[in-house]
Amino acid sequence: MAEVEETLKRIQTHKGVIGTIVVNAEGIPIRTTLDNSTTVQYAGLLHQLTMKARSTVRDIDPQNDLTFLRIRSKKHEIMVAPGRSGSSPLVVQWHQSTCVFFLG
């Protein structure tokens, strides 16, 4: 448990990271360093996007699976590291005006 906190703290203090959010498989935030409204909003939106990305990968090749998703926009970069499909939590981080998102 303490290791999780330590790792989260380390990632959060990494250069350029603005925020970190941990969300579960249904998109419900568990841990966050951002304010509530942002957290809720992003959790929902990115959850859907990641689900879509994953289903796309799976449709193309059923034995394949999404391992990492990175969205680069002009202001932000979003990193999503999905877990195995099944219930694993979701972590969202901001990096360099980036949102990093672990999806379970």
Which own/partner contact pairs does 50-58 have at CB distance under 8 Å and 24+ positions apart? 50/80, 50/82, 50/90, 50/101, 50/103, 53/80, 54/82, 54/85, 54/103
Q: By the 8 A CB rule, do 70 and 3 touch? A: no
Q: State yes or no: residue 9 binds another protein (CB under 8 A).
A: no
Question: Nearest distance from residue 79's CB to another protein, in Å?
Answer: 6
Cβ closest to another protein, residue 1 vs residue 60: 1
Which string of DSSP letters, residue by residue, matches 19-35? Answer: EEEEE-TTS-EEEESS-
Beta 98-102 vs 77-80: how paired, if at all? Answer: parallel
66-85: which residues touch another protein (CB under 8 A)?
Answer: 67-68, 70, 72-76, 79, 81-84
Q: State yes or no: residue 13 binds another protein (CB under 8 A).
A: no
Binding mask 22-41 for another protein (x = CB under 8 A): x-x--xxxxx---x-xx-xx
Task: Give me the residues that bind another protein (CB under 8 A), please.
Answer: 1, 4, 7-8, 10-11, 14, 16-18, 22, 24, 27-31, 35, 37-38, 40-41, 43-45, 67-68, 70, 72-76, 79, 81-84, 86-89, 91, 93, 95-97, 100, 102, 104
